[in-house]
Amino acid sequence: MIECPFCSVKETDGQRIYFENEYCMFLQKDGEQDVLEGSGLIVPKAHKETVFELSREEWNATYDVLRQAKELLDAEHSPDGYTLGWNVGRVSNQEIFHAHFHIIPRYRDEPYAGKGLRYWLKQPDNKRAGKPSRPGSY
């Protein structure tokens, strides 16, 4: 069995836990700061494979940590917006099967400014083969 990297998160030279509560923590990895400046993760402390397994308490704790993270990121990076999201399942690009919430500050001067979470998914080349279009879909 492969050890889950989020079940035993520790601060290292390449990873920092900024704050935490009883249920989750906000962390940043140095290796992701070059392109995704200010980005971080909220990780539940209990091993839950996907967001759909979180308890109400874990959801509320995630919200509390998200608010703290926004205050920190606004003060340190002054982003122009945010992209927030959970990946669920391999087809959605979930690579670590321990739920984690991505917080990605966005900036006006980045090459993909204005292209959010759904932009890439809505491109015509992402249409499933043999699946007819439905009027009014978005």
CA 101 to chain centre: 4
In a domain, 6, yes or no: no
Q: For residues 133 and 15, what is the distance between their CA atoms, to the nearest angstrom?
A: 44
pTM over 0.85: yes
Owning domain of residue 68: 15-124
Residue 69 and residue 103 in contact, taking contact as beta carbons nearer than 8 Å: yes
The pLDDT score that the predictor gives to residue 24 is 97
Sheet holding 81-86, edge to edge: 15-20, 24-29, 40-44, 101-106, 81-86
In a domain, 2, yes or no: no
In a domain, 3, yes or no: no
pLDDT at 57 over 80: yes
The pLDDT score that the predictor gives to residue 63 is 98
In a domain, 136, yes or no: no
CATH of the domain at 106: 3.30.428.10
Instruction: Say how many domains are in the chain.
Output: 1
